[in-house]
Chains A and B, each alone.
Chain A
Amino acid sequence: MTTPQFSAMEPVLEVAGLNTLFATPEGDVRAVSDVAFAIARGETLGIVGESGSGKSQIFMSVMGLLARNGRASGSVRVTGTEILNAPVAELNRVRGARMSMIFQDPMTSLNPYLTVRRQMTEVLMTHKGLGEEAAAQASIEMLERVQIPEAGRRIGMYPHEFSGGMRQRVMIAMALLCGPELLIADEPTTALDVTVQAQILDLLMQLKRDTGMAIALITHDLGVIAGLADRVIVMYGGRIVEQAPVRDIFRRPQHPYTEGLLKSMPRLDEHGVTRLQTIGGQPPNLQNLPSGCAFRDRCAYAFDLCAAERPDLTSLGEGRARACHLPQLGEVA
């Protein structure tokens, strides 16, 4: 399942048979269906999909952060330890220490009533048992590492006193305090301006090189994936529809949805202006998925079998897999 260069090592995260359901007045909604994947040490896995594809809910299940009406089943192992539906006390030994998560909007994930110092030292005092002074010192060092100027002074400030980009740096610093083996980044740059996005992506790349931690990068932006990911999972309607090493996803997509996404993006490096190819129809409604393949009513190549039978995720060799009945697709120019 993993690419050859990572396969020798034990995975940091192993997800198997993950199903996530939400109870609603209209019945259960299945946000994640039969998802299985692994992230090797030091690997960056990109998870792409549109809103409602289930990409975030996979990791909310992993972190034990599902909304109250949600429940997950299957298996989630972090460096070998099963943590899915583990008691909170057990989860808390893993969360923040061995894996941590950053979100799209740092303002809603930081506590507006507490100084950054208070929020950061708390992590180290809880997980590492440091005293307050030592924790503050380590926190300042981490803020310097994520390139916050005047970290010693600014650690005493409240979240609203930071700009959006600086807040995201604070989030990243907080997530890295205990030296996690896995950082889950859920749309970490989506709320930021493009010049600030570039700064944060640079920072993540640098941290990835220096610390060797694995990153799960959840995003809808294929450009962000292209810059950072080693391997990519494409989600549609709660399922993995394709996975492949990053170059193959862009050069030889094997699922019509992946191909459609790539062709529907206007690009800065396009030559002349051609009409954008679109994926017709609307994103799938999880409460009312079509029979067979969830993508079939938007797929230009759909045929009888697609309505009759849902295609399984099948290996194509070389670390690639896809869920599609079609013969293999050609190369993208």
Chain B
Amino acid sequence: MTAPLLSVNDLKVHFEIGRRGLFGGARHVLKAVDGVSFDLRPGETLGLVGESGCGKSTLGRAILRLLPLQSGRTVWLGRDLARLAPREMREMRREMQIIFQDPLASLNPRMTAGEIIAEPLVTFRPELKRAEVKQRVQAMMAKVGLLPNQINRYPHEFSGGQCQRIGIARAIINEPRLIVCDEPVSALDVSIQAQIINLLMDLQAEMGLSLIFISHNLAVVRHISHRVMVLYLGKVMEIADRDSLYANPLHPYTQALNSAVPVPDPDIERAKPRVVLKGDLPSPLNPPSGCPFRTRCPRATQVCAECMPALERAGADHMVACHHAAMPDRP
């Protein structure tokens, strides 16, 4: 097996909430990401799924060191990112990029498409001549399916799908090894979603990119990922290769998520058994004791309130954190 590109070990991101004013309010700690570990191999896509507030975007940003870590290690090709000097880290950023959900909001409205795409290139390669920059930008635009003659247009002149292509061109111009894709298709219409998914998969095949693909859409994640990690209130519930996760989900939360996704087929959709979870996600400021999922879990017992189950091996490339993972679906 190839060495991992990125190794994340017991990563924690905590935010301190409150404590305002002269005398300070009560101090609360929000554990957005709480002890996440995984490896990402070169050329692999890891899907991150979970409901809003589960910590998937925070994790994506923490990996890129766009957020300070509470504790834990992120090791990039054998080097601990936390130990790098700021200058070394800056150099490293070339290799890791991010694209965002709202394509228009993530582009500077006062810069042209060409300036936006050129910015990372000019930052890291200040010696390049203007003509060469322009030529590379145009090549990149062609690669992501934009017309090179649109180079002087502003973001508002593009549609949502085209803006996302600009964001992708900006992310790949320095030939990174990793792109964190934070809900990159959620704001797009169905017909455009498919174009962007295909583009990302083509670029991955061509450039050998690793992707961390964050989405709440399980069908999209299934389509694009090699491995999938399911998060709930900052903790990993299950991580497995794509096929075992979808064919044989072991965690009751994964099962519930899976059955909640509407299938575009009236006969299947109306006949399928559903695990409808009660209630909403608990507040991350005041998570349940033990397993955070237990308040909504159909299998919860006393032990679930007492301690958080460890992430344990359940198959060749399948880990699950549940006291009752081996329980049959219908007791």
Contact = CB atoms under 8 A, between A and B. Distances in A.
Interface of A: 50-51, 163-166, 193-199, 201-202, 220-227, 246-247, 250, 260-262, 264-270, 273, 275-280, 282-283, 298
8 contacts: A197-B260, A225-B264, A226-B262, A226-B264, A226-B268, A264-B191, A268-B258, A279-B194
Contact of B190 (A163, A265, A298): A265
B52 interface: yes
A318 to B, nearest CB: 16
Interface string B279-310: 01100000000000000100000000000000
Given A193-B51, A278-B191, A270 B223 contact: yes
A300 to B, nearest CB: 12
B35 to A, nearest CB: 23
B113 to A, nearest CB: 15
A264 B262 contact: no
B276 A198 contact: yes
Contact of A163 (B192, B223, B280): B280
Given A50-B189, A198-B260, A250-B266, A166 B219 contact: no
A265 B188 CA distance: 12
Contacts of B261: 194, 223, 268
Which of A166, A221, A222 is packed against the most chain B CB atoms within 10 Å?
A222
Closest 8 CB pairs of A and B: A223-B262, A266-B223, A264-B194, A198-B260, A279-B191, A50-B189, A193-B51, A222-B264
A277 B274 CA distance: 29
Nearest to B162: A282
B263 to A, nearest CB: 6
Interface string B209-227: 0000000101110111000
Contact of A268 (B197, B201, B222, B224): B222
B191 A194 contact: no
Contacts of A193: 51-52, 216, 281
Interface of B: 51-52, 159, 161-162, 189-195, 197-198, 201, 216, 218-220, 222-224, 246, 256-270, 274, 276-277, 280-281, 296
Contacts of A164: 280
Contacts of A277: 194
Nearest to A199: B276
Which of B193, B261, B264 is packed against the most chain A CB atoms within 10 Å?
B264
B260 A195 contact: yes
A195 B274 CA distance: 10
A160 to B, nearest CB: 14
A265 B222 contact: no
B197 A226 contact: no
Nearest to B225: A273
B285 to A, nearest CB: 14
B194 A246 contact: no
Contacts of A282: 159, 161-162, 192
A223 B261 CA distance: 8
Nearest to A48: B190
A194 B216 CA distance: 8
Nearest to B51: A193
A283 B197 contact: no
Contacts of A269: 263, 265, 268
Which of A261, A266, A282 is packed against the most chain B CB atoms within 10 Å?
A266
A221 B197 CA distance: 17
A197 B256 CA distance: 12
Given A50-B190, A195-B277, A223-B262, A247 B267 contact: yes
B191 A260 contact: yes
A201 B266 contact: no
Contact of B264 (A195, A267, A276): A267
Given A194-B218, A275-B198, A264 B193 contact: yes
Given A194-B51, A202-B276, A283 B264 contact: no
A250 B264 contact: yes
Given A193-B281, A265-B264, A268-B258, A278 B274 contact: no
B266 A221 contact: no
A201 B262 contact: yes
Which of A195, A201, A269 is packed against the most chain B CB atoms within 10 Å?
A195
A194 B270 CA distance: 17
